[in-house]
Structure 1
């Protein structure tokens, strides 16, 4: 589940079923730190254990007047069936929340995740107007595409359709350094669709649009949607990440309805890109293969993972490394070149940086390259992403020897492999 800036729990009296202050989870009291989201059937909260050493997300389902708790049982069943995949949110357990002031509610205790793709789209365009034209880097698009496709491949092999893939339902995991799928409230077994209205407007496949229209008109359905609807949704998400624009109006436009391929070609040709044309064309072809109108001819998740787009290494934008938490921090604007080649000064700087960084958490390793790539940058690996997030918040804007510190996160796997990106500006 998504995390974000922690909001204080209001002290004014509130209705417990609307904003609980405490949850009793398996005999332990967990306090609410923030409300992360609210939907038609459930609310999601960030919670911490009584000892304060653990954090998680609680999805509390509204009590059903007639009983049955259908939404709770459905999502629980799906998550229990597909547990264990690194790109799908982890279900820790289920419990019942009792209240003296209202009916008992059913809850899921879930892994706490970080920033959503929706937030990445909003925050990047808000902090840099140029992103409206440029969108995100091919590194992030590739990372998101591969992670979600691997999740869908596993989900589809188990016979499930997610049926509500959108930017809000794809979240970054700081601990696992990958994107994960959440919210399986509309999911169903292929061939046994028990939900009439699926997918969110703007990410809805043509066959789902037709099905929804027929259902609204009271027409009995004689066919069901398939896993192909998920590929359509993912393609729109990737196109939004690449272009930097929300595409709800675009996919409803006459031009898109007449020839979506031409619209996609125009979007790619109008975007200035620092990479060569070949990997960009691989991404364009991958997206087109997932936006074929006929679900029978649309690319599957397994086939999409074979795209040559995934064989090319890319570098991230610096803004992306500020938004995607990791156990590794990269500190910029700290060290002058002259200090790197004086061994005594270099050792003193290493010791000073270790001492400073250990104030914010347990430091596993610290690296200051003397040559490019990464020359003069300070890479600090903390024992946990939570330590790194605290350090990033407190170090950014600090001065060190008269220099203002810029602290970004850095991909853990790249750091451990010694791969130091020359990030895109």
Structure 2
């Protein structure tokens, strides 16, 4: 699938010249399948591609990944990622590829593009915005399960992701799950076509060895396996638990000598923050992913049956602020006195609906009169974009002299009528 044209002015530069991204002007419009999509923002950029948030008059928002020509003036990066994505579509924890197109800008420089599902906050952003004590057990469990589900599927299909890191795990507000992105280094197990895989800080020992041999012009015995993905996930989960970036730690000699002891120390340091049994299960799960010998490392399938996933957790209020969903929960608005007068209660319902509809299409609104959820206002929007805008504009406003607290709320729980009475 391709599109004949797009209005994307750039500064001059010959194809394959290796223009730096800051020398390339941001596109204004993409013409995608006969429809004009406006570029709203650049979401990210790398040496080979940039990612933009785009929207059109008739369609919901999406993401465009635009590839620059490689050093040889070719499309290898685009063709590689397109090939992998087309082969692994259909799993709920892997980003959806909507289509591919060619962008012709006014300077007649064609670029290859992927039209992708628009996702939200990355685990990298969550690590930056989280507390120094680490994230909640609910969030760690949610992320771990979603990524392991994706890896189970990916590995069954014979693929190694080969660049698992916090920046490549993104939250889907509408599906309420984490999804994997960026398959530019992925390869079929046993057919590794890229020597330098994974990112510093999340690179498995066997990948480090392979890189060192390649730099010396030597060949290793065999390529890396799916085990490298489990190593990366183990480091990610350890960072989420500890609230500490571990790049320097995993490069240290102490880590190489006895990584298990360092993991034990991190968990003992946080033992007062979390309940003991889930902590031990999480510790053992992470340690099973961090064996230096890849043959002893847990598989994704085996990791999913860890006792850690049998324990139910409720989200922390910080989780509900950080992870957007289509449902907004408003606190500090309704007094008990408002709930027992039917006329006043109905007036409040209508007032709240009218106010919330200023920010988007409201599908439903609920104010429970009894616990659980007594006095909380739950607003279900048509999509997470509307609820995000409402959360941004309502947070900190006053209602009857009180400051409004606005968090998101799990759509799945709301649909089941499961309302948290209190979320600490």
The aligned counterpart of 1:45 is 52
The aligned counterpart of 2:115 is 109
Secondary structure, counterpart of 1:315 in structure 2? coil
Deviations for 1:380-404, whole angstroms, at most 9, x for unmatched residues? 1112111111211121122211111
Give the TM-score normalised by structure 2: 0.92
How far 1:175 moved relative to its partner?
A: 1.2
State the alpha-carbon separation in 2 of the partners of residues 14 and 324 from structure 1.
37
Secondary structure, counterpart of 1:391 in structure 2? helix
The aligned counterpart of 2:136 is 137
The aligned counterpart of 2:85 is 79
The aligned counterpart of 1:88 is 94
Q: 1:292 to 1:421 in 2, by over 3 A?
A: farther
Secondary structure, counterpart of 1:376 in structure 2? coil
How far 1:277 moved relative to its partner?
A: 1.0
Matches within 5 A, 1:143-158: 143-158=142-157
Is 1:120 aligned to 2:126, yes or no? yes
Is 1:413 aligned to 2:412, yes or no? yes
How far 1:17 moved relative to its partner?
A: 5.0
State the alpha-carbon separation in 1 of the partners of residues 140 and 422 from structure 2.
15
Secondary structure, counterpart of 1:331 in structure 2? strand
Aligned residues: 407
Secondary structure, counterpart of 1:240 in structure 2? helix
State the alpha-carbon separation in 1 of the partners of residues 315 and 126 from structure 2.
13
The aligned counterpart of 1:171 is 170
The aligned counterpart of 1:318 is 317
How far 1:372 moved relative to its partner?
A: 3.1
Paired residues of 1:328 and 1:381 also in contact (CA < 8 A): yes
The aligned counterpart of 1:100 is 106
Deviations for 1:136-181, whole angstroms, at most 9, x for unmatched residues? 1000000000100000110000000000000000000111111000
The aligned counterpart of 1:35 is 42
How far 1:358 moved relative to its partner?
A: 2.0
Q: What CA RMSD, in Å, does the superposition of the two structures yield over aligned residues? A: 1.9
Paired residues of 2:332 and 2:403 also in contact (CA < 8 A): yes
Paired residues of 1:17 and 1:102 also in contact (CA < 8 A): no
Q: 1:178 to 1:288 in 2, by over 3 A?
A: same
Q: 1:423 to 1:149 in 2, by over 3 A?
A: farther
Q: Which of 318-327 and 86-95 deviates more?
A: 318-327
The aligned counterpart of 2:303 is 304
State the alpha-carbon separation in 1 of the partners of residues 151 and 164 from structure 2.
10
Paired residues of 2:48 and 2:70 also in contact (CA < 8 A): no
Q: 1:423 to 1:75 in 2, by over 3 A?
A: farther
State the alpha-carbon separation in 2 of the partners of residues 177 and 229 from structure 1.
27
How far 1:275 moved relative to its partner?
A: 4.5
Paired residues of 1:214 and 1:220 also in contact (CA < 8 A): yes
How far 1:368 moved relative to its partner?
A: 1.7
How far 1:335 moved relative to its partner?
A: 1.1
The aligned counterpart of 2:371 is 372
Secondary structure, counterpart of 2:109 in structure 1? strand
State the alpha-carbon separation in 2 of the partners of residues 360 and 234 from structure 1.
38
State the alpha-carbon separation in 1 of the partners of residues 152 and 60 from structure 2.
31
State the alpha-carbon separation in 1 of the partners of residues 391 and 276 from structure 2.
35
The aligned counterpart of 1:213 is 212
Q: 1:201 to 1:144 in 2, by over 3 A?
A: same
State the alpha-carbon separation in 1 of the partners of residues 34 and 251 from structure 2.
50
Q: Which of 271-280 and 25-34 deviates more?
A: 271-280
Secondary structure, counterpart of 2:194 in structure 1? coil
The aligned counterpart of 1:7 is none
Deviations for 1:13-70, whole angstroms, at most 9, x for unmatched residues? 8569542222121222212111111111111111112x16421111111124644411
Paired residues of 2:9 and 2:106 also in contact (CA < 8 A): no
The aligned counterpart of 2:255 is 256
State the alpha-carbon separation in 1 of the partners of residues 121 and 272 from structure 2.
25
Secondary structure, counterpart of 1:96 in structure 2? strand
The aligned counterpart of 1:19 is 26
